[in-house]
Amino acid sequence: MDFTLSPEQEILRESVRNFAEKEIRPVARDLDRREEFSYETMQKMAQLGLFGIYVSEKYGGQGMDYLSYIIATEEIARVDGSHAATVAAENSLGIGPIYYFGSEEQKQKYLPRLCRGENLWGFGLTEANAGSDAMGSKTTAVLDHGQWVINGSKIFITNASTDITAGVTVMCRTGTRNDGKPELSCILVESGTPGYTAKEMHGKMMWRASNTSELYFEDCRVPEENLLGPRGEGFHQMMKTLDGGRLSIAAMGLGGAQGAFDLALKYCRQREQFGMPISKFQVNAFKLADMATEIDAARLVLYRACWLRDNDMPFSKEAAMAKLYCSEVMYRCVNHAVQLHGGYGLMQEYDVERFYRDQKLLEIGEGTSEIQRIVIARHIGAL
Protein backbone atom coordinates (compact mmCIF):
# COMPACT_ATOMS: atom_id res chain seq x y z
CA MET A 1 0.00 0.00 0.00
CA ASP A 2 1.19 3.49 -0.88
CA PHE A 3 0.07 6.32 1.40
CA THR A 4 2.05 8.99 -0.43
CA LEU A 5 0.15 11.97 -1.80
CA SER A 6 0.94 13.09 -5.31
CA PRO A 7 3.14 16.18 -5.81
CA GLU A 8 0.03 18.04 -7.04
CA GLN A 9 -1.86 17.17 -3.87
CA GLU A 10 1.05 18.25 -1.67
CA ILE A 11 1.25 21.58 -3.51
CA LEU A 12 -2.50 22.01 -3.15
CA ARG A 13 -2.35 21.36 0.59
CA GLU A 14 0.46 23.86 1.07
CA SER A 15 -1.18 26.56 -1.04
CA VAL A 16 -4.58 26.21 0.66
CA ARG A 17 -2.98 26.12 4.10
CA ASN A 18 -1.02 29.28 3.39
CA PHE A 19 -4.13 30.95 2.01
CA ALA A 20 -6.19 30.02 5.08
CA GLU A 21 -3.54 31.35 7.46
CA LYS A 22 -3.05 34.58 5.53
CA GLU A 23 -6.58 35.44 4.37
CA ILE A 24 -9.02 33.67 6.70
CA ARG A 25 -7.49 33.46 10.17
CA PRO A 26 -7.13 37.25 10.58
CA VAL A 27 -10.85 37.84 9.90
CA ALA A 28 -12.53 34.63 11.09
CA ARG A 29 -13.12 35.65 14.69
CA ASP A 30 -14.64 39.02 13.79
CA LEU A 31 -16.86 37.53 11.08
CA ASP A 32 -18.07 34.95 13.58
CA ARG A 33 -18.86 37.64 16.12
CA ARG A 34 -20.84 39.69 13.60
CA GLU A 35 -22.50 36.67 11.93
CA GLU A 36 -21.32 38.00 8.59
CA PHE A 37 -20.83 36.03 5.38
CA SER A 38 -17.68 37.36 3.69
CA TYR A 39 -17.99 37.90 -0.04
CA GLU A 40 -14.38 39.03 -0.11
CA THR A 41 -12.88 35.81 1.23
CA MET A 42 -15.39 33.76 -0.75
CA GLN A 43 -14.18 35.39 -3.97
CA LYS A 44 -10.58 34.79 -2.95
CA MET A 45 -11.34 31.12 -2.39
CA ALA A 46 -12.89 31.01 -5.86
CA GLN A 47 -9.79 32.63 -7.37
CA LEU A 48 -7.71 29.94 -5.67
CA GLY A 49 -9.79 27.35 -7.53
CA LEU A 50 -11.63 25.89 -4.54
CA PHE A 51 -15.00 25.67 -6.30
CA GLY A 52 -15.45 22.87 -8.81
CA ILE A 53 -12.16 21.21 -7.89
CA TYR A 54 -13.34 17.81 -9.12
CA VAL A 55 -15.43 19.16 -12.03
CA SER A 56 -14.19 18.61 -15.58
CA GLU A 57 -12.35 21.51 -17.17
CA LYS A 58 -15.03 21.35 -19.87
CA TYR A 59 -17.40 23.04 -17.42
CA GLY A 60 -14.88 25.37 -15.83
CA GLY A 61 -13.65 23.10 -13.04
CA GLN A 62 -10.14 22.10 -12.01
CA GLY A 63 -10.43 18.49 -13.19
CA MET A 64 -8.79 17.10 -10.04
CA ASP A 65 -9.72 14.01 -8.05
CA TYR A 66 -12.08 13.93 -5.08
CA LEU A 67 -9.26 13.47 -2.57
CA SER A 68 -7.81 16.80 -3.67
CA TYR A 69 -11.15 18.47 -2.92
CA ILE A 70 -11.20 16.82 0.51
CA ILE A 71 -7.64 17.97 1.27
CA ALA A 72 -8.59 21.54 0.37
CA THR A 73 -11.67 21.41 2.61
CA GLU A 74 -9.60 19.93 5.42
CA GLU A 75 -7.09 22.78 5.26
CA ILE A 76 -9.78 25.48 5.28
CA ALA A 77 -11.49 23.76 8.25
CA ARG A 78 -8.17 23.69 10.08
CA VAL A 79 -8.55 27.47 10.38
CA ASP A 80 -12.31 28.15 10.27
CA GLY A 81 -15.46 26.06 10.04
CA SER A 82 -17.64 28.73 8.45
CA HIS A 83 -15.43 29.15 5.40
CA ALA A 84 -15.02 25.39 5.12
CA ALA A 85 -18.81 25.06 5.19
CA THR A 86 -19.09 27.45 2.25
CA VAL A 87 -16.58 25.39 0.25
CA ALA A 88 -18.04 22.01 1.23
CA ALA A 89 -21.68 22.93 0.63
CA GLU A 90 -20.98 24.64 -2.68
CA ASN A 91 -18.96 21.74 -4.06
CA SER A 92 -20.86 18.75 -2.68
CA LEU A 93 -24.43 20.07 -2.53
CA GLY A 94 -24.50 22.99 -4.95
CA ILE A 95 -22.30 21.95 -7.85
CA GLY A 96 -22.39 18.17 -7.35
CA PRO A 97 -26.04 17.38 -8.22
CA ILE A 98 -25.96 19.52 -11.37
CA TYR A 99 -22.63 18.02 -12.46
CA TYR A 100 -23.62 14.39 -11.89
CA PHE A 101 -27.32 14.42 -12.77
CA GLY A 102 -27.95 17.51 -14.88
CA SER A 103 -28.56 17.65 -18.61
CA GLU A 104 -25.84 19.00 -20.87
CA GLU A 105 -27.79 22.21 -21.21
CA GLN A 106 -28.06 22.59 -17.42
CA LYS A 107 -24.37 21.93 -16.96
CA GLN A 108 -23.37 24.47 -19.59
CA LYS A 109 -25.76 27.04 -18.17
CA TYR A 110 -24.81 26.87 -14.50
CA LEU A 111 -21.50 25.10 -13.84
CA PRO A 112 -18.99 27.59 -15.35
CA ARG A 113 -20.36 30.45 -13.24
CA LEU A 114 -20.47 28.30 -10.13
CA CYS A 115 -16.92 27.03 -10.63
CA ARG A 116 -15.65 30.60 -11.08
CA GLY A 117 -17.41 31.67 -7.90
CA GLU A 118 -19.54 34.22 -9.71
CA ASN A 119 -22.59 32.51 -8.22
CA LEU A 120 -23.46 30.12 -5.40
CA TRP A 121 -26.10 27.39 -5.43
CA GLY A 122 -28.04 25.72 -2.61
CA PHE A 123 -29.49 22.23 -2.09
CA GLY A 124 -33.00 22.26 -0.60
CA LEU A 125 -33.55 18.99 1.22
CA THR A 126 -34.23 19.50 4.94
CA GLU A 127 -37.65 20.59 6.13
CA ALA A 128 -39.01 21.47 9.57
CA ASN A 129 -40.51 17.97 9.87
CA ALA A 130 -38.25 16.09 7.46
CA GLY A 131 -34.65 15.89 8.63
CA SER A 132 -33.39 12.36 9.10
CA ASP A 133 -36.62 11.17 7.47
CA ALA A 134 -35.98 12.62 4.02
CA MET A 135 -38.84 10.55 2.56
CA GLY A 136 -41.15 12.63 4.75
CA SER A 137 -40.62 15.72 2.62
CA LYS A 138 -43.88 17.69 2.25
CA THR A 139 -42.80 20.20 -0.43
CA THR A 140 -44.79 19.42 -3.57
CA ALA A 141 -44.36 20.07 -7.27
CA VAL A 142 -47.29 19.60 -9.65
CA LEU A 143 -46.87 19.68 -13.42
CA ASP A 144 -49.22 22.22 -14.98
CA HIS A 145 -49.11 23.20 -18.66
CA GLY A 146 -45.38 22.65 -19.01
CA GLN A 147 -44.44 24.17 -15.65
CA TRP A 148 -43.74 22.76 -12.20
CA VAL A 149 -45.81 24.52 -9.53
CA ILE A 150 -43.93 24.22 -6.24
CA ASN A 151 -45.37 24.72 -2.75
CA GLY A 152 -43.68 24.14 0.58
CA SER A 153 -40.62 25.16 2.55
CA LYS A 154 -37.07 24.13 3.41
CA ILE A 155 -34.83 25.00 6.34
CA PHE A 156 -31.10 25.03 7.27
CA ILE A 157 -30.01 25.43 3.64
CA THR A 158 -26.41 26.62 3.10
CA ASN A 159 -25.42 29.26 0.51
CA ALA A 160 -29.07 29.84 -0.47
CA SER A 161 -29.68 33.53 0.35
CA THR A 162 -26.51 35.40 -0.52
CA ASP A 163 -26.57 38.28 -3.00
CA ILE A 164 -24.85 36.05 -5.56
CA THR A 165 -26.88 32.87 -5.07
CA ALA A 166 -28.15 31.86 -8.51
CA GLY A 167 -30.66 29.30 -7.25
CA VAL A 168 -31.31 26.04 -5.42
CA THR A 169 -31.93 22.40 -6.18
CA VAL A 170 -35.19 21.48 -4.44
CA MET A 171 -36.34 17.97 -3.61
CA CYS A 172 -40.12 17.78 -4.06
CA ARG A 173 -42.93 15.27 -3.96
CA THR A 174 -44.03 14.99 -7.58
CA GLY A 175 -46.52 12.15 -7.16
CA THR A 176 -47.04 8.70 -5.64
CA ARG A 177 -45.23 5.53 -6.69
CA ASN A 178 -46.96 2.23 -7.42
CA ASP A 179 -45.95 0.96 -3.98
CA GLY A 180 -47.71 3.89 -2.31
CA LYS A 181 -44.51 5.69 -1.33
CA PRO A 182 -43.94 9.31 -2.39
CA GLU A 183 -42.33 9.97 -5.75
CA LEU A 184 -39.47 12.40 -5.13
CA SER A 185 -37.80 14.52 -7.80
CA CYS A 186 -35.21 17.29 -7.78
CA ILE A 187 -36.02 20.58 -9.52
CA LEU A 188 -33.80 23.59 -10.21
CA VAL A 189 -35.27 26.89 -9.00
CA GLU A 190 -33.48 30.12 -9.90
CA SER A 191 -33.29 33.05 -7.50
CA GLY A 192 -35.82 35.75 -8.29
CA THR A 193 -38.45 33.31 -9.51
CA PRO A 194 -41.92 34.61 -8.49
CA GLY A 195 -43.23 32.71 -5.49
CA TYR A 196 -39.78 31.75 -4.23
CA THR A 197 -38.30 33.47 -1.16
CA ALA A 198 -35.02 32.81 0.66
CA LYS A 199 -34.64 34.20 4.17
CA GLU A 200 -31.30 34.31 5.95
CA MET A 201 -31.16 32.68 9.40
CA HIS A 202 -29.33 34.22 12.36
CA GLY A 203 -28.68 33.33 15.98
CA LYS A 204 -26.70 30.17 15.22
CA MET A 205 -24.34 28.67 17.75
CA MET A 206 -21.93 27.54 15.02
CA TRP A 207 -20.82 28.42 11.49
CA ARG A 208 -21.93 31.95 12.22
CA ALA A 209 -20.09 33.36 9.18
CA SER A 210 -21.68 30.80 6.86
CA ASN A 211 -24.90 31.63 5.01
CA THR A 212 -27.87 29.56 6.23
CA SER A 213 -31.41 30.03 4.99
CA GLU A 214 -35.09 29.18 5.14
CA LEU A 215 -36.76 28.72 1.75
CA TYR A 216 -40.42 29.32 0.95
CA PHE A 217 -42.34 28.30 -2.19
CA GLU A 218 -45.82 29.67 -2.85
CA ASP A 219 -47.18 28.62 -6.25
CA CYS A 220 -43.64 28.99 -7.55
CA ARG A 221 -43.59 28.16 -11.27
CA VAL A 222 -40.52 26.90 -13.10
CA PRO A 223 -40.18 25.35 -16.58
CA GLU A 224 -40.68 21.60 -16.91
CA GLU A 225 -37.11 21.27 -18.23
CA ASN A 226 -35.80 22.41 -14.83
CA LEU A 227 -36.27 18.84 -13.64
CA LEU A 228 -32.89 17.42 -12.64
CA GLY A 229 -32.51 14.03 -14.27
CA PRO A 230 -35.46 11.63 -14.64
CA ARG A 231 -38.68 12.18 -12.74
CA GLY A 232 -38.84 10.12 -9.54
CA GLU A 233 -35.06 9.86 -9.16
CA GLY A 234 -34.81 12.57 -6.50
CA PHE A 235 -34.30 10.23 -3.55
CA HIS A 236 -31.51 8.29 -5.29
CA GLN A 237 -29.89 11.55 -6.38
CA MET A 238 -30.08 12.83 -2.83
CA MET A 239 -28.53 9.66 -1.38
CA LYS A 240 -25.65 9.75 -3.87
CA THR A 241 -25.15 13.45 -3.16
CA LEU A 242 -25.04 12.82 0.58
CA ASP A 243 -22.48 10.02 0.16
CA GLY A 244 -20.07 12.55 -1.37
CA GLY A 245 -21.16 15.26 1.05
CA ARG A 246 -20.37 13.04 4.02
CA LEU A 247 -16.76 12.96 2.89
CA SER A 248 -16.63 16.77 2.95
CA ILE A 249 -18.18 16.88 6.44
CA ALA A 250 -15.61 14.30 7.50
CA ALA A 251 -12.92 16.57 6.06
CA MET A 252 -14.27 19.41 8.15
CA GLY A 253 -14.10 17.20 11.23
CA LEU A 254 -10.56 16.13 10.42
CA GLY A 255 -9.41 19.67 9.68
CA GLY A 256 -11.15 21.06 12.75
CA ALA A 257 -9.58 18.40 14.96
CA GLN A 258 -6.15 19.20 13.50
CA GLY A 259 -6.71 22.92 14.06
CA ALA A 260 -7.78 22.40 17.66
CA PHE A 261 -4.77 20.16 18.27
CA ASP A 262 -2.41 22.76 16.78
CA LEU A 263 -3.85 25.45 19.04
CA ALA A 264 -3.66 23.23 22.11
CA LEU A 265 -0.09 22.11 21.46
CA LYS A 266 1.09 25.67 20.90
CA TYR A 267 -0.66 26.90 24.04
CA CYS A 268 0.66 24.03 26.19
CA ARG A 269 4.22 24.74 25.10
CA GLN A 270 3.88 28.42 26.01
CA ARG A 271 1.77 28.29 29.15
CA GLU A 272 3.79 27.74 32.34
CA GLN A 273 2.65 26.48 35.71
CA PHE A 274 4.83 25.36 38.60
CA GLY A 275 7.88 26.61 36.72
CA MET A 276 7.51 24.60 33.50
CA PRO A 277 5.39 24.43 30.33
CA ILE A 278 2.14 22.59 31.02
CA SER A 279 2.89 20.25 28.11
CA LYS A 280 5.50 18.65 30.38
CA PHE A 281 2.85 17.37 32.77
CA GLN A 282 1.95 13.79 31.92
CA VAL A 283 -1.79 14.36 32.27
CA ASN A 284 -1.62 17.02 29.55
CA ALA A 285 0.94 15.24 27.38
CA PHE A 286 -1.33 12.19 27.29
CA LYS A 287 -4.27 14.31 26.12
CA LEU A 288 -2.13 15.63 23.27
CA ALA A 289 -0.92 12.11 22.45
CA ASP A 290 -4.49 10.83 22.28
CA MET A 291 -5.49 13.72 20.03
CA ALA A 292 -2.59 13.12 17.64
CA THR A 293 -3.35 9.40 17.45
CA GLU A 294 -7.05 9.85 16.72
CA ILE A 295 -6.38 12.53 14.10
CA ASP A 296 -3.97 10.23 12.29
CA ALA A 297 -6.48 7.38 12.37
CA ALA A 298 -9.26 9.68 11.15
CA ARG A 299 -7.14 10.84 8.22
CA LEU A 300 -6.54 7.23 7.14
CA VAL A 301 -10.26 6.37 7.36
CA LEU A 302 -11.24 9.43 5.32
CA TYR A 303 -8.52 9.17 2.68
CA ARG A 304 -9.30 5.49 2.13
CA ALA A 305 -12.95 6.34 1.51
CA CYS A 306 -11.85 8.98 -0.99
CA TRP A 307 -9.55 6.46 -2.68
CA LEU A 308 -12.49 4.10 -3.12
CA ARG A 309 -14.57 6.88 -4.63
CA ASP A 310 -11.82 8.02 -6.97
CA ASN A 311 -11.40 4.44 -8.16
CA ASP A 312 -15.12 3.99 -8.87
CA MET A 313 -15.55 1.45 -6.10
CA PRO A 314 -18.45 1.27 -3.60
CA PHE A 315 -17.82 3.75 -0.79
CA SER A 316 -21.18 4.42 0.87
CA LYS A 317 -20.31 2.46 4.03
CA GLU A 318 -16.85 3.97 4.22
CA ALA A 319 -18.25 7.49 3.72
CA ALA A 320 -20.62 6.97 6.64
CA MET A 321 -17.75 5.61 8.76
CA ALA A 322 -15.54 8.57 7.86
CA LYS A 323 -18.25 11.11 8.58
CA LEU A 324 -19.12 9.45 11.90
CA TYR A 325 -15.55 8.97 13.08
CA CYS A 326 -14.07 12.28 11.96
CA SER A 327 -16.90 14.34 13.42
CA GLU A 328 -16.64 12.56 16.76
CA VAL A 329 -12.85 12.74 16.76
CA MET A 330 -13.19 16.50 16.43
CA TYR A 331 -15.56 16.47 19.40
CA ARG A 332 -13.01 14.73 21.57
CA CYS A 333 -10.18 16.94 20.31
CA VAL A 334 -11.96 20.26 20.85
CA ASN A 335 -13.03 19.12 24.29
CA HIS A 336 -9.42 18.33 25.21
CA ALA A 337 -8.22 21.57 23.62
CA VAL A 338 -10.60 23.72 25.66
CA GLN A 339 -9.65 21.83 28.82
CA LEU A 340 -5.96 22.40 28.13
CA HIS A 341 -6.60 26.13 27.66
CA GLY A 342 -8.37 26.28 31.01
CA GLY A 343 -10.39 29.44 31.56
CA TYR A 344 -8.95 31.05 28.44
CA GLY A 345 -10.55 28.31 26.32
CA LEU A 346 -13.94 29.75 27.25
CA MET A 347 -13.14 33.21 25.92
CA GLN A 348 -14.00 34.37 22.40
CA GLU A 349 -10.58 35.97 21.98
CA TYR A 350 -9.17 32.43 21.76
CA ASP A 351 -9.97 30.56 18.53
CA VAL A 352 -10.44 27.27 20.35
CA GLU A 353 -13.75 28.59 21.70
CA ARG A 354 -15.08 28.92 18.13
CA PHE A 355 -13.81 25.44 17.24
CA TYR A 356 -15.70 24.03 20.22
CA ARG A 357 -18.98 25.55 18.99
CA ASP A 358 -18.46 24.75 15.31
CA GLN A 359 -17.91 21.07 15.98
CA LYS A 360 -21.45 20.29 17.06
CA LEU A 361 -22.94 20.74 13.60
CA LEU A 362 -20.76 17.92 12.26
CA GLU A 363 -22.66 15.36 14.37
CA ILE A 364 -25.97 16.65 12.99
CA GLY A 365 -25.57 17.96 9.43
CA GLU A 366 -25.79 15.69 6.35
CA GLY A 367 -27.00 12.83 8.48
CA THR A 368 -26.70 12.67 12.26
CA SER A 369 -24.23 10.37 13.97
CA GLU A 370 -27.20 8.14 14.75
CA ILE A 371 -28.13 7.92 11.07
CA GLN A 372 -24.52 7.11 10.14
CA ARG A 373 -24.60 4.19 12.58
CA ILE A 374 -27.81 2.95 10.95
CA VAL A 375 -26.20 3.17 7.50
CA ILE A 376 -23.14 1.28 8.71
CA ALA A 377 -25.22 -1.31 10.56
CA ARG A 378 -27.21 -2.02 7.39
CA HIS A 379 -24.05 -2.43 5.33
CA ILE A 380 -22.59 -4.94 7.76
CA GLY A 381 -25.84 -6.89 7.98
CA ALA A 382 -26.67 -6.01 11.56
CA LEU A 383 -30.03 -4.44 10.60
> What are the pLDDT digits (tens) for 295-351?
999 999 999 999 999 999 999 999 999 999 999 999 999 999 999 999 999 999 999
* Same domain membership, residue 357 and residue 264: yes
* In-domain check, residue 2: no
Position 226 scores a pLDDT of 98
* Same domain membership, residue 296 and residue 212: no
* Same domain membership, residue 280 and residue 185: no
* Same domain membership, residue 332 and residue 274: yes
Q: For residue 280, what is the domain's CATH number?
A: 1.20.140.10
* Same domain membership, residue 250 and residue 214: no
* Same domain membership, residue 362 and residue 265: yes
The pTM of the whole model exceeds 0.85: yes
Question: Which residues does the chain have with pLDDT short of 50?
Answer: none
Q: Could you tell me which residues come within 8 angstroms of residue 129 by beta carbon, excluding any fewer than 6 positions away?
A: 136, 138
Position 376 scores a pLDDT of 97
**Which domain-ending residue is among 183, 207, 233?**
233
- For helices 316-341 and 282-310, the axis angle rounded to 10 degrees is 160
* Percentage of residues in the chain having pLDDT higher than 70: 100
**Which domain-ending residue is among 233, 248, 277?**
233
Q: For residue 48, what is the domain's CATH number?
A: 1.10.540.10
* In-domain check, residue 1: no
Position 133 scores a pLDDT of 87
21 is catalytic: no
* Same domain membership, residue 367 and residue 243: yes
* Same domain membership, residue 373 and residue 260: yes
* In-domain check, residue 245: yes
* In-domain check, residue 286: yes
Catalytic residue (one of 90, 363, 366, 370): 366
* Same domain membership, residue 203 and residue 245: no
pLDDT digit string, tens, across residues 222-273: 999 999 999 999 999 999 999 999 999 999 999 999 999 999 999 999 999 9
Position 278 scores a pLDDT of 98
Can you spell out the DSSP letters for 148-204? EEEEEEEEEEETSSSTTEEEEEEEEEEEE-TTSSEEEEEEEEETT-TTEEEEE----
Is residue 200 within 8 A of residue 161, CB to CB? The reply is: yes
Q: How far does CA 242 lie from the centroid of its chain?
A: 10
Position 2 scores a pLDDT of 86
* Same domain membership, residue 249 and residue 181: no
* Same domain membership, residue 243 and residue 343: yes
Q: How far is CA 173 from CA 73, 116, 177, 232, 248, in A?
A: 33, 32, 10, 9, 27
Q: For residue 191, what is the domain's CATH number?
A: 2.40.110.10
* Same domain membership, residue 350 and residue 332: yes
Counted domains in the chain: 3
User: 151: domain range?
Assistant: 122-233
Position 134 scores a pLDDT of 81
**Which domain-ending residue is among 211, 233, 255?**
233
SS3 content of the chain, % helix, strand, coil (to 5): 55, 15, 25
Is residue 336 within 8 A of residue 328, CB to CB? The reply is: no
Q: Are strands 140-144 and 212-223 parallel, antiparallel or unpaired?
A: unpaired
- For helices 39-47 and 81-88, the axis angle rounded to 10 degrees is 60
Position 252 scores a pLDDT of 98
Position 310 scores a pLDDT of 97
Position 184 scores a pLDDT of 97
* In-domain check, residue 333: yes
d(CA 334, CA 75): 17
